[in-house]
Amino acid sequence: MAQPPNIRGMEILRQYTNELRDVAKRPRSFLTQVLNLGCIVFSALMLWKGLMVVTKSESPVVVVLSGSMEPGLQRGDILFLSLYSEPFIPGDVVVFQIEGRDIPIVHRIMNVHEKDDGKLAVLTKGDNNTVGDRGLYATRQMFISRKEMMGRAQVFLPHAGMITIWLNDWPWLKYVLIGSMGFFVIIGRDT
C-alpha cells in the first residue's frame, strides 16, 4: 500500500535531519577528545607546579640516568626531592646542576663545610666512582654551593623511570609515542 505524499516527505525529512545531527556530532566528539587531552596535560602541569611549591625544589622528581650511583641507585630509578633548610650532612644523596651543563647530577655528599656567614661548600662523589666530583664541577670550582643544589633525595622508586631512558636513547620512540596518542585522540569515540 502506498503512503500518502506528506507522510513520505516527513520520513525523508526525518532521515536528513538524523544524518545532519550525526555530522554535527563528529566535530563535537573530536573537540571533546582534544579538550580531554588538554585537561590531562594541564592537570599534570598543575601537579608538577604543586610539587614544586610543597618540596621547595625546582625539580621535585628526577630520573637517575647513569650508573655512577650503583649499587645503591640504578639507572631508571625515580627520585623524589625536597629542598628544605635542614642541614646537608655527609651521606645525603643530592641532585645538583652545574652551570653550563644540561643534565643534573645525582651523587652522594662526601664533605660539608658551612661557614659562619651560612655559605655552604659541599664535595660530592658517585658511589660507583673512585674519586670525588671536582672534575665535574666548573673550571676552578672546588665545591658546590647551595645555589647549585636542586634537592635532596627523600624517596625513590626502583626502575620506574626507564621510559625516560628509552626516550633519550631512542629518539624515534618519542615520535611514535606522540603520534600514537594523537591517533587515538583523533579516532576516539564517546559512547
| Peptide bond preceding 71 in cis form (omega within 30 of 0) | yes
Catalytically active residues are 68, 107, 133
Distance CA(77)–CA(65), nearest Å, equals: 8
Q: Which helix (H) or strand (E) is 121 found in, with range? A: strand 120-125
Residue (of 78, 94, 82) closest to 56 by Cα position: 82
- Residue 106 sits at the vertex; the CA angle it makes with 47 and 50, to the nearest 5 degrees, is 15
Q: Residue 67 has which C-alpha cell? A: 650508573
Question: Where do the H-state alpha helices sit in the chain?
Answer: 5-55, 162-169, 172-187
CA distance linking residue 149 with residue 171, whole number of Å: 29
